[in-house]
Structure 1
């Protein structure tokens, strides 16, 4: 007697097998044609695992949008003077009030985001690139390591902000000169980090195997050392970006940064410090935006660190 194949309904396997006759064969269940949606709840898991990084990313995106849309969301020209509207309190006409020269603080804060972001991102990129190159050379070349690190130690013995002030004293105030001054002060930090990573990678078995097999040093650096050095350097770059924004505000606050006519958060606070006891809002709003931007960059950096470091993963 030939066996009859009866399709099995989902969830009824045990009942059919128990009641089926001995000579009745039960067909195996068909595979699912439509796989389950793995993407469902992915955003929720991301927020649950890295809430700080998500918040930081949202804040940073808002500041970036504000900087890009400054000509459209700014109410007036940030450099326009209005002596009759001096030190006005926040109102419907001037949302953040006016400064000592009658300039609209809201428009100056909006345009000031451009200065801080340009300087922060530029310093992070330039310092990371220069520090990566110097760190790779120092970590791979033992003879040059001693000389390079003594120079780096000498530069790091000077506080970064003092070094930036000294460099700005030799030049005139401009955004480009501020970027160069802060970059020079931040390069040693990246150099020491990359050198430490290279020294640990250089002792790995796969690097020794590549060297023994006759691979050229440049190829070893390009294929094995450099890719494994990018992750910690990327995290360090976010902290350098936040530090550069604070350094720019400090330089502008003491009059050694960008020109006073350029709307920046440091300049706004420097111009309002004389009246901070009477009109504290002149300093309050740029200080809030500077603090939130620095916080957002640091939160994003923490999220990148957690994502790149397997030991920080919660599902491992």
Structure 2
């Protein structure tokens, strides 16, 4: 009498296949966030801030530029959640609209400085004869603190969001260029790059196929730190009157307008400072998480 295969034995192959089946993209993403909580926290908080800026017209209670002397310097209440400033403008609405300025400056500077710095770093790192000239110019720019360089550039132009973005971008480009150059210098000595050169591959093809893909990981991490730094520099420029026009709602402008009354009406400075701190914290957490996950020495297997 032949023995019938047990149910457990017949189900075992299917169970093993299910266990060994690759995870879907959504499941892998959730697992990645569990392994890197700083990415989840920072990314989630940054998304919230971005949504606040996008839907500011729906979230704001009144026009952020509307002046009403009769309601000036009121404390937070049910009618004015964050109080009012010296001109009677609603601080809540101004803080909500201020998220647009900070995020626009941060993201724009991160993208522009990454693109320009990447091009300069690739050229300087792979073209040996141009390395010395370009790097001496970069060293000269890096000898000036970014905030001082941005202030000097803004002193030559009029205050506007576009000029603020350009000034901070110019100040941040050297950091990106030096980072990319260092990566390229280490990559161009690798055997696969030397093999491509020996096979007669042209320089643009070598850069596009072998060098450029390996710069994305450090560049993405650096871009997050540049974004956070740009938002702080924009707030400083606006605070000292060298940034966006005073009529434009920005966190730096709001704090600058409330510094004369900070001892008696601290809420004027408190709320924009909290929003700026949370946004910078979110970007830094995201950058730290990306660094841990993209660095081969720190990354955990997914």
Q: Same fold per TM (> 0.5)?
A: yes
1:186 aligns with 2:201: no
Shift of the alpha carbon at 1:9?
2.6
In 2, distance between residues paired with 1:51 and 1:191? 30
1:295 alignment partner in structure 2 = 281
Paired residue for 2:189, among 203, 216, 231?
Answer: 203
In 1, distance between residues paired with 2:87 and 2:11? 80
Superposition map of 1:31-110 within 5 A: 31-32=13-14, 35-36=18-19, 38=23, 45-110=31-96
Greater C-alpha Rg: 1
Q: Normalised by the size of structure 2, how large is the TM-score?
A: 0.94
Paired residue for 1:233, among 219, 234, 237?
Answer: 219
1:161-196, CA deviations, whole angstroms, 9 ceiling, x for partnerless residues?
A: 111111101110000000000000000000000000
Which range moves more in the overlay, 305-314 or 217-226?
A: 305-314
CA contact (8 A) 2:224 2:283 kept: yes
Paired residue for 1:283, among 241, 265, 269?
Answer: 269
3-state SS, counterpart of residue 259 of structure 1 = coil
3-state SS, counterpart of residue 14 of structure 2 = coil
2:5 alignment partner in structure 1 = 7
Superposition map of 1:162-173 within 5 A: 162-173=148-159
Shift of the alpha carbon at 1:4?
3.3
CA contact (8 A) 1:7 1:29 kept: no
Quick check: which one's helix share is greater? 2
Shift of the alpha carbon at 1:44?
6.5
1:161 aligns with 2:144: no
Q: Tell me, which stretches of 5 or more residues in structure 1 are unaligned? A: 12-27
3-state SS, counterpart of residue 7 of structure 2 = coil
1:259 aligns with 2:238: no
CA contact (8 A) 1:57 1:300 kept: yes
CA contact (8 A) 2:121 2:176 kept: yes
3-state SS, counterpart of residue 10 of structure 1 = helix
3-state SS, counterpart of residue 18 of structure 2 = coil
1:305 alignment partner in structure 2 = 291
Displaced runs of 4+ in structure 1, greater than 6 A? Answer: none
For this pair of structures, how many residues does the alignment match? 298
Q: Tell me, which stretches of 5 or more residues in structure 2 are unaligned? A: none
Q: Normalised by the size of structure 1, how large is the TM-score?
A: 0.90
Which range moves more in the overlay, 306-315 or 117-126?
A: 306-315
CA contact (8 A) 2:293 2:300 kept: no
Which range moves more in the overlay, 49-58 or 278-287?
A: 49-58
In 2, distance between residues paired with 1:48 and 1:114? 30
